[in-house]
Amino acid sequence: MSTEPASEFLGKASGGKITGSCLSGCGAPGTPLHLACTIGHADMVDFLVERKCKLDLYDGDYRTPLMKAVQYQEEACVAILLEHGANPHLTDKFGNTALHYAVAGENTSIVEKLILFHANIEARNKVEFTPFLLAVIENNHEMVELLIRKKADVHVVDKFKRTALMLAAPSTSPDVVRLLLQQGVNTSSRDERGWTAGDYALFSGFDGNHQTIAKHTEERLKNFSQNNNPVANKTSEEDSLSSISVKPGDDNASWPTSDDEDLSFNMKVDDLTAKLETMSSRNQVLIQELSSMKEIPTKCEILKKNKKKLGNNKK
């Protein structure tokens, strides 16, 4: 951090001319506050904000002083600006917020500080990347883990309907892929082209990630099958039904005879209905994942044919 006296710094920043308007409004584009944040001159940033310098003016690239401080990872300047009310929600010409810059800069400390001051963790830029999707693209396991702890939406999709798992699949490290799978993301989701995360891994040549996704899908289907064993389910359903039904001619049958018993009866019926609806929903997921797995051999065959044609054309 620079220790240059405030008066000398202001003189250099303004070409030797210090005016009242500079101190109160900081002019645009490229204000002294932008410059102070860029070079990490925290004393000057403090000097300017204490004199009511406008905090959220844009420079020529539509970046605020806060964005510049984040971009150059000047954490002390970031803290001063936020504590004096700088707006973390403003965007540059590409739709990026200060939080996008912090994630791109791989600075977890600044990310946490921005979130502490209520930066929008779900903010989207012009291609609809949230900070979380940006961390996934950067294959930054630590950042992805942090944003998950801060309750970022792991099921978010970008402008082209690509999930986080699709964006992570074509990467050399499987860590982010594994982390996303642990969060229960849907492996059968498809983007605008109809591709799944497994397709992205396969066609990008990252067989390790493809195998990890396929293994997870297989284990999920296996667990689904075990949890929905027809014999076990039938017994469970019969037990549930027996608790709310009576046999014809059963004089000892106990029908609800009061408001409390009637409420208990209705709750049991609602519980059974919910269980049946859950089974139906799981069956739909199973059908989607089976369909996705069946298409893999076909896509592999298409890829092989295209490679063969390419080889023939080169000859």
pLDDT digits (tens, 9 = 90+) for 201-211: 998 899 899 99
- Full residue range of the structural domain in which residue 291 is found: 223-243+260-314
Residue at 302 is within a domain: yes
Is the predicted pLDDT of residue 197 greater than 50, yes or no?
Answer: yes
Q: What was the pLDDT predicted at 246?
A: 40
Between CA 78 and CA 1 the distance in angstroms is: 13
Could you tell me the pLDDT band of residue 11, with boundaries at 50, 70 and 90?
very low
The more confidently predicted of residues 5 and 60 is 60
Between CA 258 and CA 241 the distance in angstroms is: 20
> Which among 87, 105, 127 is the end of a domain?
87
Could you tell me the pLDDT band of residue 264, with boundaries at 50, 70 and 90?
low
Residue at 196 is within a domain: no
Q: ∠ at Cα 97 (91, 101), nearest 5°? A: 135
Residue at 307 is within a domain: yes
Is the predicted pLDDT of residue 96 greater than 90, yes or no?
Answer: yes
Q: What is the DSSP letter of 74?
A: -
Q: What was the pLDDT predicted at 129?
A: 97
97-113, pLDDT tens digit by residue? 999 999 999 999 999 99
Q: What was the pLDDT predicted at 39?
A: 95
Plot region of 27 (φ>0 → left; ψ -120 to 50 → alpha; else → beta): left
Is the predicted pLDDT of residue 232 greater than 90, yes or no?
Answer: no
Q: Is 161 exposed, middle or buried (0-12, 13-18, 19+ CB in 10 A)?
A: middle
Residue at 306 is within a domain: yes
Ranking 183-197, 221-235, 263-277 by mean pLDDT, the lowest is 263-277
Supply the CATH number for residue 57's domain: 1.25.40.20
Q: What was the pLDDT predicted at 80?
A: 98
Residue at 248 is within a domain: no
Residue at 178 is within a domain: no
Number of compact structural domains in the chain: 2
Q: What is the DSSP letter of 171?
A: S
Between CA 311 and CA 215 the distance in angstroms is: 32
> Which among 65, 87, 109 is the end of a domain?
87
Q: What is the pTM of this model?
A: 0.66
Residue at 126 is within a domain: no
Query: Which residue has tokens 């609602």?
Result: 270
How does the average pLDDT of the chain come out, rounded?
78
Asked whether the beta carbons of 184 and 153 are under 8 A apart, the reply is no
Asked whether the beta carbons of 309 and 301 are under 8 A apart, the reply is no
Q: What was the pLDDT predicted at 44?
A: 96
- Alpha helices by DSSP H, listed for the chain, are 6-13, 20-25, 32-39, 42-50, 65-71, 75-83, 98-104, 108-116, 131-137, 141-149, 164-168, 175-182, 197-203, 207-227, 230-242, 259-314
Q: What was the pLDDT predicted at 249?
A: 45
Could you tell me the pLDDT band of residue 221, with boundaries at 50, 70 and 90?
confident
Could you tell me the pLDDT band of residue 27, with boundaries at 50, 70 and 90?
very low
Ranking 24-33, 239-248, 292-301 by mean pLDDT, the lowest is 239-248
Beta bridge partners of 175: none
Residue at 127 is within a domain: no
Q: What was the pLDDT predicted at 218?
A: 86
Is the predicted pLDDT of residue 261 greater than 80, yes or no?
Answer: no
> Which among 35, 69, 87 is the end of a domain?
87
Query: Which residue has tokens 């284990």?
Result: 219
Is the predicted pLDDT of residue 142 greater than 90, yes or no?
Answer: yes
Could you tell me the pLDDT band of residue 267, with boundaries at 50, 70 and 90?
low
